[in-house]
Amino acid sequence: MFSKLKKNFRNFVSIIKNEKKFISCEWLENGIIFDHANIIRVCCEQSHEGKGRYILEDSFNGLWLDIDKILNNKQVLKNKIRNNIIPDSCKGCQFLKNDFWKEKKVFSNILLTHWSNCNTRCIYCPAVRDNNLKDANHYNIIPIIEQLIDAKLVNQDTKFSIAGGESTIYPEFDKLLYFLIDYGIKNININSSGIKYSPSIADAISKNLAEIVISIDAASSFLYKLIKGTDTFNIVIENVKRYLDYQQIGEKRVILKFILLKGYNDNKKDLLDWFMLCSNIGIKKLALDIDIAWYNEMQANIPSYVIDLVLFAKEMSKLNNIELDLYDRACIIYKYSKIDRKEHK
Ligand code: SF4
């Protein structure tokens, strides 16, 4: 309610100042991604016609960042947007939004996913499918973040997401997390398999500075092993409970995710079992997504049972009073189901 009022007030001020609305997105305006294989991108979104993932630098040496080059390359995209030209890579993206976008000098979102090794072998992971999980091309990101701080492109409000591969096996992981905390970053999102328990994550959770997202995709050891390729279900559940012990009352900083995967867990029973498991161990926030390769295959004609599963998950979250975030593809399907219903009324 308060944030809506704040937004309405900001819009009112923009209208008074005669500012113009235009179509853009948060990543395009204020985001940057340090991706695998020494690539730097604008975003990692790829579930749409343009396939996103615009490249700002394709051969980053990991030692010194040519900030001017990055900012200039980004400006090329932004200029197109400001001239009402949607870049090819953004065509059809759900994150485009007509708004009073302001020029900011600071990155609001930074995703660190330059580390590609992992301690699971999830069958939906593009890197596993392409046999691309390896230590190669890994570099220490901390000096690069220092460079961004010195250039005033990062401040305490910048949101950092750490992915991978697996975040906790990135060699500088603990140092990185404490570096961000010591600098005063307040909003850190860590994606992890949950297999390796990290005291630094527990510490960050206890201080309300970070959240951890663990994709378990199943409620049984058997199904988990089929999907994740490791026999570590019980270890992960124990680690989830340990992280929960550090979560402050009323906070939702330990998040469990379920990725719907064709032929494995794409049914109400597995989804319901997962809800029950999460509820029993005291999880307050969940996330749902769809396997990207499967989504790309079916996106022109989403089967009705997949739409039903997303709606079912929404319903279950209400009934069990657990917050549910619909991630990219699940969110598109949910929005689509709402439009479709309206059209058929
Ligand atoms: S592809 Fe989507 S998320 Fe990425 S920059 Fe374009 S509009 Fe933004």
Read off the pLDDT of residues 207-240 as tens digits, 9 standing for 90 and up.
Answer: 999 999 999 999 999 999 999 999 999 999 999 9
pLDDT of residue 1: 62
Among 23, 35, 43, 46, say which to mutate for ligand 1: greatest number of ligand atoms within 8 Å of CB.
43
Among 54, 81, 90, say which to mutate for ligand 1: greatest number of ligand atoms within 8 Å of CB.
90
Four-CA torsion 320, 321, 322, 325, nearest 10 degrees: 110
Is residue 173 lining ligand 1, measured as CB closer than 6 Å? no
pLDDT of residue 130: 80
68-82 residue pLDDT tens: 999 999 999 999 999
Between the CA of 278 and the centroid of ligand 1 the distance, in Å, is: 32
Q: Which residues of the chain have pLDDT under 70?
A: 1-3, 18, 135-137, 339-345
The H or E element spanning position 315 is helix 304-319
Is residue 93 lining ligand 1, measured as CB closer than 6 Å? yes
pLDDT of residue 2: 65
pLDDT of residue 9: 77
DSSP assigned state of 248: P
As to burial, measured by CB atoms within 10 angstroms (0-12 exposed, 13-18 middle, 19+ buried), residue 61 is: exposed
Q: Which residues are CB-contacts of 45 (< 8 A; sequence separation ≥ 6)?
A: 27, 52, 53, 93, 95, 328
Is residue 90 lining ligand 1, measured as CB closer than 6 Å? yes
Alpha-carbon distance 302 to 286, whole Å?
23
Among 23, 41, 45, 80, say which to mutate for ligand 1: greatest number of ligand atoms within 8 Å of CB.
45
Index of the ligand 1 atom closest to the CA of residue 31: 5
Q: Which residues pair with 63 in a beta bridge?
A: none
Quote the tokens at residue 301. Answer: 């004609």
Q: Which residues pair with 35 in a beta bridge?
A: 39
**Locate tokens 């307050």: which residue?**
284
pLDDT of residue 164: 78
Residue closest by Cα to atom 5 of ligand 1: 28
